[in-house]
Amino acid sequence: MSRDTRLCYSLLDVIGDTPLVELGRITRGVAGRVLAKVEYLNPGFSKKDRIARQIIEDAEADGTLMPGQTVVELTSGNTGTGLAIVCGLKGYPFVAVMSKGNSRERARMMAALGAEVVLVDQLPGSTPGQVSGGDLELVEQAARRITAERGAFRADQFHHTGNFRAHFLHTGPEILRQCGGEVDAFCDFAGTGGTFAGCAAALKEHDARVRCYLVEPAGAAVLAGVPVTDPNHRIQGGGYSMAPLDLVRPEYVDGYLQVTDDEAIRVARRLAREEGAFAGFSSGANVAAALQLLRGPCAGQTIVTILNDSGLKYLSTDLWS
């Protein structure tokens, strides 16, 4: 069976319907299965294309976004890339506001797609490649200011229900269709928590026994209620020490998993070498968390997780050195 190769009339139609692949090599010697949703095959090379399309189309439908109005969003790069694609195709000017701590490929890609990119300095003492909640707060202040100055629509991925709906209406149901409903557990590294919440809601609606685990950086596991010891982790795209997350309802969460930088990096490298899956830090974190489940409470079971974005977005980092 191959992917649908019908003629499409816009890259908007290419978003979603990504493959679900069993990672049969990385799980050798471990009882159970890991199924990974290959989200880096979206047009912007990440899962965030899905929420970009959903937020913009929901806002068009409810009248909060006017024709030609500027769109502004805070991004670690992936939502911005999705919005650059969607806004470019639909005729909305787009301003991406991002921390300088994120990898520079992201800024260049958004600019190439027609976005205006505003880079915000990190807090004094912060390290490039390690974006903390404090760094993100500075980006939030800049995004608010630019939104007000330009009379813009703020995509607001941390709060807009389009973020949840993208995964509740599409990612989750796709997973269920692709695995024939045979899933015991789901885990995902949280930034906004939109992917986690939307997929968890869809999976639990199918079968309330599916257990859903939030993944956080070890040292910054605030959602689990653990005191933060190190906010400056390397898993870009989440782990911002923000709690609670608006989109994540307590009833979606069965447990919390923590992954170190080293584990995320080691598993991202194994994914590339052993599975041919060229993905980023947070995908490594997700599969590391899925392996923790197979070695612990979910031995012998089927775990679904997400390959969030492409390893190409980290060529300037030492992930591949």
Ligand X SMILES: Cc1ncc(COP(=O)(O)O)c(C=O)c1O
Which residues lie near ligand X (CB under 6 A)? 46, 48, 76, 78-79, 189-196, 236-238, 280, 282, 308-309
Provide, rounded to whole angstroms, the least separation between the CB of residue 9 and ligand X.
28
Q: Which residue has the CB atom at the shortest distance from ligand X?
A: 237
Q: Which is nearer to ligand X, 189 or 252 (CB)?
A: 189
Local structure of residue 32 (DSSP, 8 states) = S
Question: Which candidate in 282, 283, 310, 313 is catalytic?
Answer: 282
Question: What residue has token string 């307590």?
Answer: 250
User: What does the alpha-carbon distance between residue 136 and residue 315 come to, in Å, rounded to a whole number?
Assistant: 23
- 10 Å CB burial of residue 34 (0-12, 13-18, 19+) is buried
Comparison of 32 and 189: residue with beta carbon closer to ligand X: 189
Q: Which is nearer to ligand X, 106 or 270 (CB)?
A: 106
Q: Which is nearer to ligand X, 106 or 211 (CB)?
A: 106
Residue 241 Rama label (left phi>0; alpha psi -120 to 50; beta): left
Q: Which residue has the tokens 């493959």?
A: 19
CA 164 to CA 195: how far, in whole Å? 7
In sequence order, which ranges of the chain are alpha helices (DSSP H)? 48-62, 78-90, 104-112, 133-150, 161-166, 172-178, 194-206, 261-270, 281-295
Least distance in Å: CB of 309 to ligand X?
4
Active site residue 204: no
Q: Please state the closest distance from residue 162 (CB atom) to ligand X, in A.
A: 12
Catalytic residue among 47, 48, 90, 204: 48
* List of residues 6+ apart from 61 with CB closer than 8 A: none
Clarify whether 48 is annotated catalytic.
Answer: yes
Query: Residue 66 Cβ, how far from ligand X at the closest point, in Å?
Result: 26
> Which residues are the active-site residues?
48, 282
